Structure 1
Amino acid sequence: MKLSTNTIKRLVSVAVLLVAQQSSPLSAQTIIPIQTQNNALVLEAGKNKDLNIIFFGKKLNDINEYPLVSGMYKQTEDYTQLLNSVYTPSGSRNLVEPALSVTHSDGNNSLDLRYVSHKETKIGDDISLLSIVLKDPVYDFQVILYYKSYYKEDVVEQWSEIRHEEKGDVTLHKYASANLHLKAKSYWLNQYHGDWAKEMQPEESKLTHGIKTLDSKLGTRANLFQPSVFMISMDSPANEDEGNVLYGALEYSGNFKIDLELDYQDNLRIVAGINNYASPYTLKAGEAFTTPAFLYTFSTEGKGAASRKLQSWARNYKLLDGKGNRLTLLNNWEATYFDFNESKLSDLIRDTKKLGVDMFLLDDGWFANKYPRNDDHAGLGDWQENQKKLPNGIGSLVKEADAKGVKFGIWIEPEMVNPKSELYEKHPDWVLKQPNRDEHYFRNQLVLDLANPKVQDFVFDVVDDLFTKNPKLAYIKWDCNAVIYNAHSAYLKNQSHFYIEYMRGLYSVLKRIRTKYPNTPMMLCSGGGGRVDYGALQYFTEFWPSDNTDPLERIFIQWEYSYFYPAISSSNHVTDWGKQPIKFRTDVAMMGKLGFDIVVSKLPENDLKFCQQAIKNYNVLKDIIWHGNQYRLSNPRENSVASMAYVNEAKTSGVIFNYLVSNRYAENSKTPIRLKGLDPAKKYRVREINLYPGTKSSINSETIFSGNFLMDVGFNPQVNSTRTSVVLQLEEAK
């Protein structure tokens, strides 16, 4: 058959078009790189508009090479094209753990999310915000993914906004903040567990196929048994200075869930967000559901580099007043517990000035009259001064402190209530409890219903009234000692919204407080470290790591917290816990925000002299400790000596804390400890400080060392059984 010229031309055109469509897939791709100073997360929207992660790790020099990465992996087939989804939907093609699961208004459980558009906004020199719109092609349902990247710190915050315009309500069954996809030969999880006085106990394990879940269902004090921070080492376990490691943390103070799924392709999927336990959420048309941020940073130079990035980010952008000042203090709790009166407190205020710290902190027990707060069984919720203990009120103590030249702070626990209280009697509907079940108590108390706006007003008024009556009040210690049993809100119609609405209520109150009192220092306390996260720390200047103040235990606890939180945020108090001498206890507490919880009047003369001089030393060094770079030099879990250093940005000054952590015979700092973070070309002088009265240092402070020597050979602090705690000050020698 003979074809006409026009027919041949048409066939050739069709053939060329088909070949072009098959051989040029890049023309249909959209590449979205999220790059920081050292790292990159790269997304790709293909021809069918599935949005997938094609790269995560140390960034490449040539941005055009990212699409080539996937071709280097010859793994099992991805039957769904969703294994590396940027935000995995459920009910359509997906066969793995979803980030988002819904029931549409018509009862359909399927969801598909396709790329629509993206926009990047430069917020500042260091910060960019990327938003990506995903939509279901069948339903009027969309998700906006947000990536807030901090260029210099290599930190990314990721969250999602979910909304729809369907004719009825949509039920959200799972609603993650982030969905990451990692490729490596193997993965090692460093997670944490604990309990009261045993916070931040690390465990490292190799991840195997299936899902490993880190979660909490406690409602409040959510980090009591398992905090929402973790590390993932890739290929092999990272150490302090070597290895590929990702740090992750959810910025949320309520129930959380982090799923770590090693899939059949041997890739790791991380799905992190609010715990959907007992919390299907009914989303109305036009309403937006915004998840909390999940933050992560990545380092190719081990855990130390990752922690310094995160600490710098926290000081610069998240922690309230992270680059500012802090108040040293004397707390009365372990000096008096509930047994005090105005006379005792007056003595302690005088001791505050005598000791040389900035503030006196009045702890639990100052309130309630009908059911006086003489122990932890009564009074919570009744926030009027106890007339028997304080006949002249808080105001007289604030004035007395002011006259003595020190500030005054106070303890509150406004989210909680004792059944034995006037508040419980007047407003039983404000208390979280199941109406038909026995009450079950945690520390003899229940939790108030912060989902209720009236309760939110009450909690705000507790703080507001204190400041209105006492304008010179300088500090709040905000405690939270109970978890939620028998979760039920008399205010909410839909109980499945409770855990989410409680946290919304808490954050709403904290925002109101910070709007009216933006600069007042506040400690985040929760029976210790039960509520330590960056969702809360944006409203607080510091946190209380643990009620366990035994200095030997605190070395380990503070060490682990330091991977995720800067020293300026860690409240460390000198107490009578432990068998170590006052020098050891004080030295340990100086590795953060220093406080005292002792009976100053009972200190031996030399103990008092030591504390007074140590506080003076601390006031000289605190800027380096709070705002310098932190280096872990000798791990107490691996060595007989623990060593931690802080070095200023200019690398001209530093302080090194060294402790004997083993009582084995003849244990000491047998070998020099290699310093970090110095300038190898600079010259340094090392001298011992915080010496106990009557003792002399065995360290020659006249010797000059190069930074090269101190980092490659090291320095021996001469720690032993008679010198169990050694603090060294490092200064550039000019």
Structure 2
Amino acid sequence: MAWFALSAPKLREGIFGGVEWSGSWTMRVSGESGNTVLRGGLADLDHDLKPGEIFDAPRRFVGFFQGDLDDAANASNNFARAFLLRPRPANFPWTQFNTWFAYYTNLNEEKLKQQVDAAADLGIEIFYIDAGWYDGSPDHGDFSFGLGTWRENRDKFPNGLAAFSEYVHSKGMKFGLWVEPERVDLRYVGADKEIKPEWLPSWLQLPTSFPDDQALTSQICLGNPDARAWMKNWLARLIRDYKLDWIKWDNNIAASCDLPGVPGDANWAHYKGLYEVLDYLRQEFPNVILENCAAGGHRMDYAMMRRTDVAWLSDETDPSYRVRHHVAGASYAFPPEYLNTWIVESYFEHFGDAEEKPDLLRAWLRSRMMGAFGISREVSDLTPELRAVMKEEIARYKDTRAILTRGRIYRLFPQNDLDAQLEPPDQPDAAEFYDPTTRTGLIYLFQGDVAWDERRVLLRGLNPNFSYAVQSFRQTLSLNQTGQFLMTQGITFTFDSDYPSTVLTFSSTTTATTPVPTRVATATSTRTPTPTGTITIAPSATPSPTRGGAKPGTPTKPRATITTPTRAPTLTRTPTPTRTPTPTRTPTPTR
């Protein structure tokens, strides 16, 4: 992430900044003669600048903030919303259903139609098919087989994707597809084929034979104008033929271009070519949502934010406390609504456990609802009770998502550590989202693995002179207090009941007319309203795994975390994801 914040804690002020670039960059902070010096630039660039040629350097921004790192993040997010993210539909981010973690490449038209029906009933707004829909992709194993064909697989979709798209739209949902335009299965490269050898890195030798179990792939270098023209053509064809509303643009290979005839740095030319293709899609198809993905969240930068609407945060989308950890860290650099996560069936969180304790499912869902939200698990087999829980939580998310897209985020408790063994944190999580324009807010609270007697939550960013009505989602809590009181005295919670999570909403329409009370407010959250007491949040009933791991038969995924920004003296970004120069044997079927 090409983002930084420098603060002077005693002065409670500082600067933040970022770089619009998807390639390598460096940033260094040092103390020199009593001053703080920030230096940065592009790394590993070898560009030949000819007489009269103009070098268009990446854009960068610097801003000032007063307060702490939350205030730095909110100032940065306001800048991103105003100058980088384009205006999106009023009901964005849309609730999503994605096929990947439900089926991987084992796609079947009739089976997917069952999920379409069930997803529509839940209130899902966009149904999109992940890897495996294209010709050449098998029903199991390596999803890299077939990359570059970009034509529908009639074995999986006998009636064609156009008919499937029509079916999705008939259910009131939008339709989308996954693509990986920058990588190709080498079986489809040749002088007599659509994809030409000269579009690939010049050091690559095309193989004379291919294994049956894994695909050999390479990067398509977009410094080549013919490659860019080809890519624009087939992307436009997909959008028009299948009436796409959403494209998930993935990239699972590091830039390794070396094109003959391309002046200057070939990787530089590749990224400039990538931006040209994305800008073309923006201009030609302004209503199509573009999702940024790169082997998870490995290309999270402001150049991509300018050209995409939402970003897949991480393939490590379980367990819930890891998702919350990622969102807490990544939302310093990116607005929460840009960060996309899904609920999945996993080694850590089994829907069978939620059948016995439905409030577990609420906590799992809410952990993905502090940004863009989706589901990647079969939903046609849900029990009536779990279906009701999911419908209720999705409806609540829709009612409150506007706060995410306009509001500030405050981390009411410190970001929890995430150890290598993925042990559940013993501390609770709490995040506040507040929109000062509408004076509305939202608070998510999650229990840690250890029950705590009492915790006081101090809200932030409120107008001290306004009175605020606070209530829980189930309307079992209702209190009115001034902003001054809620920020200095707060609400006390006792974490000792059967609730792994709690959601509070608050709003204000009038200024305070009564003196600020002096006692600390307490609140109650039970299945039936009670006149006094405390809100309670319980430890999860899910067994705590002692080490990370996948359910038997589930593709193994690398472990990664996103942490709270630190002020290390040197920040360096290298091209990611790191892969061995191609041709490669692609892991199966990780993305």
- The alpha carbon displacement at 1:462 in A equals 2.5
Q: Which secondary structure state, in structure 2, belongs to the residue aligned with residue 529 of structure 1?
A: coil
Structure 1 residue 525 displacement after superposition: 0.8
Cα deviation, 1:136-173, whole Å, max 9, x if unaligned, reads: xxxxxxxxxxxxxxxxxxxxxxxxxxxxxxxxxxxxxx
Deviations 1:76-105 (A, max 9, x none): xxxxxxxxxxxxxxxxxxxxxxxxxxxxxx
Q: CA deviation at 1:358?
A: 0.7
What is the match of residue 406 of structure 2? 627
Please give the alpha-carbon distance, in whole angstroms, between the structure 2 residues aligned to 1:726 and 1:443.
Answer: 46
Which residue of structure 2 lines up, in the alignment, with residue 268 of structure 1?
A: 36
- Residues 396, 322 of structure 1: alpha-carbon distance in 2 compared, 3 angstrom cutoff: closer
CA distance in 2 between partners of 1:349 and 1:374 (Å): 24
1:556 aligns with 2:318: no
Aligned to 2:19: 250
Match of 2:218 in 1: 446
Q: Secondary structure at the match of 1:299?
A: strand
TM-superposed CA distance for 1:601, in Å, is: 1.5
Contact 1:314 1:322 in 2 (8 A): no
For 1:562, the aligned partner's letter is S
Check conservation: 1:371, 1:421, Cα contact below 8 A: no
Give SS of 1:526's match.
coil
**Deviation of residue 712 (structure 1)?**
0.6
1:372: how far off?
Answer: 8.0
CA displacement at 1:398 relative to structure 2: 0.9
User: Which of residues 657, 670, 674 is equivalent to 2:458?
Assistant: 674
- What residue identity is the alignment partner of 2:96? L
User: Aligned to 1:634, what secondary structure does the other structure show?
Assistant: coil
User: Is the Cα contact below 8 Å between 2:404 and 2:433 reproduced in 1?
Assistant: yes
Moved more, 385-394 or 372-381: 372-381
Q: Aligned with 1:556: secondary structure? A: helix
Residues 1:501 and 2:280 are matched in the alignment: no
Please give the alpha-carbon distance, in whole angstroms, between the structure 2 residues aligned to 1:344 and 1:505.
Answer: 38
Structure 1: how far apart are the matches of 2:496 and 2:87?
Answer: 39
Q: 2:123 aligns with which of 356, 359, 369?
A: 356
Rate the CA distance shift 1:566–1:575 in 2: closer, same or farther, 3 A.
same
Superposition RMSD on alpha carbons, in Å?
2.7
The partner residue of 2:84 within 308, 311, 318 is 318
The whole-number CA distance in structure 1 between the counterparts of 2:244 and 2:333 is 31
319, 323, 329: which one aligns with 2:96: 329
Kindly indicate whether residue 473 of structure 2 is the aligned counterpart of residue 473 of structure 1: no
Contact 1:687 1:729 in 2 (8 A): yes
Aligned 8 A contact 2:324 2:368 in 1: no
Give the drift of 1:502: 0.7
Q: Distance in 1 between matches of 2:403 and 2:236?
A: 34
In structure 1, how many angstroms separate the alpha carbons of the residues matched to 2:369 and 2:204?
48
**Equivalent of 2:279, from 507, 511, 534?**
511
CA distance in 1, matches of 2:385, 2:374: 19
Q: 1:341 aligns with which of 108, 111, 131?
A: 108
In 1, Cα distance between the equivalents of 2:88 and 2:113?
32
Shift of 1:243: 3.0
**Partner of 1:409 in structure 2?**
176
CA contact under 8 A between 1:717 and 1:726: conserved in structure 2? no
Equivalent residue in structure 2 for 1:523, among 287, 291, 300: 291
For 1:291 and 1:414, the matched residues in 2 are separated by 25
Aligned pairs (5 A) from 1:159-178:
none
Aligned to 2:2: 228
Q: Distance in 1 between matches of 2:363 and 2:297?
A: 22
Residues of 1 paired with 2:124 and 2:144: CA distance? 32
User: Following the alignment from structure 2 to structure 1, what is the Cα–Cα distance between the partners of residues 489 and 27?
Assistant: 42
User: Match for 2:488 among 708, 712, 725?
Assistant: 712
Which residue is 2:469 aligned to? 685
Summarize the alignment of residues 276-675 of structure 1 with structure 2, pairs less than 5 Å apart.
277=44, 279-321=45-87, 324=90, 325-369=92-136, 375-421=142-188, 426=193, 427-432=196-201, 434-435=203-204, 445-470=217-242, 472-485=243-256, 487-489=257-259, 491-494=260-263, 496-550=264-318, 551-577=320-346, 578-579=348-349, 581-637=360-416, 640-650=427-437, 652-661=439-448, 663-664=449-450, 666-667=451-452, 670-675=454-459
Partners in 1 of 2:56 and 2:124 — Cα distance?
43
Report the Cα offset of residue 725 of structure 1: 1.2
* Helix, strand or coil at the partner of 1:684: strand
Partner-residue secondary structure (3-state), 1:538:
helix
Counterpart CA distance in 2 for 1:280 and 1:650 is: 47
Residues 1:718 and 1:616: Cα distance change in structure 2 (over 3 Å):
farther
Cα distance 1:719–1:434, how it changes in 2: closer, same or farther (>3 A)?
Answer: farther
Contact between 2:136 and 2:145, CA under 8 Å: does it hold in 1?
A: no
SS of residue in 1 equivalent to 2:403: helix
Q: TM-score, normalised by structure 1?
A: 0.62
Residue identity (%): 25
* Deviation sequence 1:386-413 (CA, Å, 0-9, x none): 1111122210011101211211111111
Structure 1 alignment gaps of length 5 or more:
1-226, 692-696
CA contact (8 A) 1:369 1:387 kept: no
What is the TM-score normalised by the length of structure 2?
Answer: 0.76
Give the drift of 1:377. Answer: 4.1
Within the alignment, does 1:732 sit opposite 2:477 as a pair?
no
More strand by proportion, 1 or 2?
1
> What is the match of residue 702 of structure 1?
478
How far 1:376 moved relative to its partner? 2.4
Deviation at 1:368, TM superposition (A): 1.7
- Counterparts of 1:429 and 1:635, CA distance in 2: 51
Give 1:674 deviation, angstroms.
0.0
Count of matched residue positions in the alignment of Structure 1 and Structure 2? 484
Following TM superposition, by how much is the alpha carbon of 1:284 offset from its aligned partner in structure 2, in angstroms?
Answer: 1.7
Check whether the contact 1:370–1:422 (CA below 8 A) recurs between aligned residues: no
Larger Rg: 1
SS, match of residue 281 in structure 1: coil
In the alignment, is the contact (CA less than 8 A) between 2:185 and 2:215 conserved in 1? no
For 1:552, what is the secondary structure of its paired residue?
A: helix
Q: Residues 223 and 262 of structure 2 are in contact (CA less than 8 Å); yes or no, is this contact kept in structure 1?
A: no
Q: Is the 8 A contact 1:651 1:678 kept in 2?
A: no
Paired amino acid for 1:729: T
Q: Which amino acid aligns with 1:542?
A: V
How far 1:366 moved relative to its partner? 0.3
Taking a change above 3 Å as real, the CA distance of residues 709 and 252 of structure 1, as seen in their structure-2 partners, is: same
- Does the aligned pair in 2 maintain the 1:381–1:423 contact within 8 Å? no
Contact 1:628 1:649 in 2 (8 A): yes
What do residues 7-54 of structure 1 show as CA deviations (whole Å, max 9, x unaligned)? xxxxxxxxxxxxxxxxxxxxxxxxxxxxxxxxxxxxxxxxxxxxxxxx
**What are the equivalent positions in structure 2 for 1:148-163 lying under 5 Å apart?**
none
Aligned-partner SS, 2:270:
helix
More RCO (CA 8 Å, sep 6+) = 2
1:259–1:681 CA distance, 2 compared to 1 (3 A): closer
TM-superposition CA deviations, 1:682-709 (whole Å, max 9, x none): 22232222x6xxxxx8xx5233222222
SS of the residue corresponding to residue 48 of structure 2 reads: strand
Distance apart, 1:655 and its partner CA? 0.7
Q: Distance in 2 between matches of 1:323 and 1:720?
A: 41
Change beyond 3 A, Cα 1:640–1:651: farther
Aligned-partner Cα distance in 1 for 2:185–2:276 = 23
Q: In the aligned structure 2, how far is the partner of 1:357 from the partner of 1:445?
A: 35
Structure 2 residues not aligned, in runs of 5+: 351-359, 418-425, 511-591
